A and B are shown apart, each in its own frame.
Chain A
Amino acid sequence: MTQPPLTVPATIDVQQATKHIAQNGTPIYVINCPEYEVVRLSFVFHAGSVTQRAPFVASATANMLAEGTEKYSAQQIAERLDYYGSYFDINIDRDYSYITFCSLSKFFPQTAEVINQVILHPTFPSQEVEIYRTKRKQQLAIERRKVETIARENFAKAMFGEQHPYGISYTEERYDTLTSEQIKEHYARRYTAQNCIVVCSGNITDEVLDTIKGIATKIAHGSECGVEDFPAFDTTSERAIQHDGAVQSSIRMGRLLFPRTHPDFIPMQVLSTVLGGYFGSRLMQNLRERNGFTYGVFSAMVNFQQAGYLAIATQVGKEVTERALEEITAEIELLRTQLIPHEELELVKNIMAGEMMRILDGPFGIADVTTENILCGFDNSHIQQNLERIRQTSPEELLTLAQRYLRTEDIVTVVAGDFN
């Protein structure tokens, strides 16, 4: 039968977040979706690993917020949240820590009591720090048996520099030196009103909002914001790491570019999607479909607060490592020398529009996108602008960008595997 007609959505309507300011200056952004009987509340602190003064302190602080507070033990916190079916999620990257709570609307007041303790009154007991240290040390040791972890860590070192806060990684043994004092110091310095935004979504009634304000306004004032000592990047173009017995090699290629606020970020996102951003992308067609070298290969633009980069990642059979590297290089070369056919570019644009719609489906997704926008200094009208910017991108523009940004000599290549 014949193909049914298609509609491509021209607009994505996303409500603006309503902004409130707590008395201490903490901004609170509200996405009200009263049709869902849930509340999701996120606290984002500028307290990622770039702001830490000793190894693993930033992640330990975020991960241990709920491991004991003035009023409740770690067990009581877990117990209370579990009892009401509420949960929380902790994410940390180089720049920020994200602490997110979800509860059914009917149990929000009980959940808020716990949130209050976790955000405002954590105690980081030494005994819990000790358990955490041992557990994480072992987990990290296991992670580092995987070629993909080795490649990922070495890619950051190659791009930013071994000692740069965006590039550095520490041996698992450094967990032994982590102390409760270091964590308390980090908390006092970075979990402050100046370094915080609050984003909530779901059924945010006046009562719920008052409760949230009550917590936010008690976040302490601090003196430090921004990042001290942010050195220049020191890029090396190649790293190869031997890992005995690996049947596959993990490959990371890419280059340092610019953060999301740069005018070329969106078109570079289009270009990276053409290259490896979807299932039928050029790299997938080549490495997986035509050559069977790999189960998957991906490329994407990655955004940090003070940097951004293009990354290509894959795992390939050990014996085809060299050929895979050649094929990836050839695909990049093609972007630099030939216009992308209109049909292919249309496809990529529709994929990107669909992806935005999918992420924005439901209150939690809207909150995530809102958070990302705020951290980059945008509001939610940016979503529609992004969609239009994607639509405007032409094959000619992408060719120019590829020639400017994807020169062979600028590409960083990292391989972890068994080279014997």
Chain B
Amino acid sequence: MIKYEQTQLSNGLTVIANRDTASRMAAVNILYKVGARDENPNRTGLAHLFEHLMFRGTHLIPDFDIPVQMACGENNAFTNNDYTDFYITLPCDNLETALWLESDRMTGLNLSAEACEIEKRVVIEEFRQRYLNQPYGDLNMLLREMVYTTHPYRWATIGLSPDHIAEASIEEIHNFYHRFYHPSNAILSISGDIAAERVFDMAEKWFGGIKPNLDFCPSALPTEPKQTTARRLEVERDVPATTIVIAFHMGNRLSKDFYLGDITSDLLAGGDSARLYEHLIKGKSLFASVNAYISGDVDEGMFVFTGQLLPTTTEQDAEAALWEEIRQLQSGEISDYELEKVKNKFEANTLFGELNVMNKAMNLGYYSMIGDLPLINREIAIYRSLTKEQIADFSRHTFTQENSSTLIYRAKR
């Protein structure tokens, strides 16, 4: 249970406070509602590039990191398809330093041609290090491009190609900043040993003077058309083991299917006693590793099965084994014990996740972003309420041939 209070400043900034009396540290999280989904298909990777640019200093504070570090703080950020998140942890006594920095870079960013050029090169190296110079590095890119034909989830956060990043103009970068980085598109959440009233006063002091962007309207995204036939892609790469991926479309973050998808993925792959590990690695010895997960996106996302084959396993046997697991779920072969287990596990993981200030601040921002902050304390009850009939029903309408995309990522002999 995370207790919180929230308010909204007159410029539209959402502010959420959680009091943690056990810690000497505070966490300041600021979430901007912009991600790879908001990008132009011809200029992908911009949201993530922009996350990097947010650390390049402002006219007032030329180096962002030094004041954070002088305050014994640490900061970082991440971008995904739906949002961009920045966080600072530091001794609670220095909380205002974080607010000073965050409010300053919401408006005063130094987007010089030189800064942009250097950051573009860093991001292109990141592209190469994590996606091109890594075994299986392009697997998720290939999968997205097959599963989505229309929705911007078609590309990964890093973008479709390093060229998109290289070619981004200063003007495009400036427009992106003005369009998405302003109070009414941001959520500030803070956890630490400090009263909510104080947090709200400080937020007003540091952010209250920032002008809202009155013209702002969120991106209108194209709807992904319903998939009607099975898709398949086979590629060959210089990797040691063949990997098979089967992905299905599923419901959005606020739908019932989200929870059913999540709990189904736990039944299949939540820990070493889960089905896929027990059946396919230990029992049938078909895979070296196997997994099932949901992409967890805000809009309609993916349910993904993935398995790395042992050298002795044929692709046909591996694929058939995954579909057999699906069949068992569809016919409702789920025990009460098994279901109770994944529910207990969800509850324990939720509690373990509430032990530090950073997780709490980050979660508060996230639930506010998806539009249902009280949900943060309701999810355990939602998981508790799910039944095996619902899981079987979810499996029947989700795991169909016509809703499937299969990727064979074959090891070169």
Contacts and interface: CB of A to CB of B under 8 A. Distances in A.
Interface of B is mostly: helix
Interface of A is mostly: mixed
Interface in B72-124: 72-74, 89-91, 93-94, 96-97, 99-100, 103-104, 118, 121-122
B125 A142 contact: no
A346 interface: yes
Given A85-B349, A357-B24, A361-B24, A6 B74 contact: no
A82 B122 contact: no
Given A74-B282, A292-B118, A295-B126, A6 B271 contact: no
A119 B130 CA distance: 38
Contact of B122 (A295, A347, A358): A295
Interface in B51-87: 63, 65-67, 69-74
Interface residues of B, number: 72
Contacts of A323: none
Interface string A324-353: 000000000000000000000011001101
A315 B121 CA distance: 14
Interface stretch (B28-36, B180-188, B291-299, B337-345): B337-345
A420 interface: no
A9 B92 CA distance: 11
Interface residues of A, number: 66
A87 B23 CA distance: 24
Interface string A55-88: 0000000000000000000110011011111110
B272 A350 contact: no
A407 B391 CA distance: 65
B335 to A, nearest CB: 11
Given A38-B355, A83-B340, A9 B91 contact: yes
A145 B135 contact: yes
Given A102-B352, A355-B74, A4 B240 contact: no
Contact of A134 (B274, B310, B337): B310
Nearest to B64: A280
A124 to B, nearest CB: 15
Contacts of A295: 122, 125-126, 129-130
A8 B72 contact: yes
A138 B240 contact: yes
A153 to B, nearest CB: 16
B239 interface: yes
Given A78-B273, A135-B289, A146-B134, A358 B69 contact: no
B319 interface: no
B23 A75 contact: no
B356 A362 contact: yes
A364 B359 CA distance: 15
A280 B63 CA distance: 9
B221 interface: no
Which among A83, A87, A293 has the highest number of chain B CB atoms within 10 Å? A83
Interface string A132-144: 0011001101100
B357 A361 contact: yes
B243 to A, nearest CB: 10
B72 A351 contact: yes
A288 interface: yes
Interface in A298-321: 315-317
A146 B289 CA distance: 19
Contacts of B128: 247-248, 317
A35 interface: yes
Interface in A92-133: 102-104, 107, 131
Given A131-B281, A354-B90, A355-B74, A362 B273 contact: no
A45 to B, nearest CB: 22
Given A82-B341, A346-B70, A138 B288 contact: yes
Contacts of A103: 348
A286 B363 CA distance: 35
B320 interface: no
A36 interface: yes
B125 A294 contact: yes
A111 B129 CA distance: 41
B240 A141 contact: yes
Interface string A165-195: 0000000000000000000000000000000
Contacts of B282: 74-75, 131
Give 5 nearest A-B pairs by CB, closest first. Answer: A85-B348, A354-B72, A292-B121, A78-B273, A78-B272
24 contacts: A3-B67, A3-B97, A6-B94, A9-B24, A38-B352, A74-B282, A131-B281, A135-B281, A135-B288, A142-B239, A142-B241, A246-B133, A248-B128, A278-B65, A280-B69, A292-B121, A293-B125, A295-B126, A317-B128, A350-B71, A351-B69, A354-B69, A357-B91, A361-B357
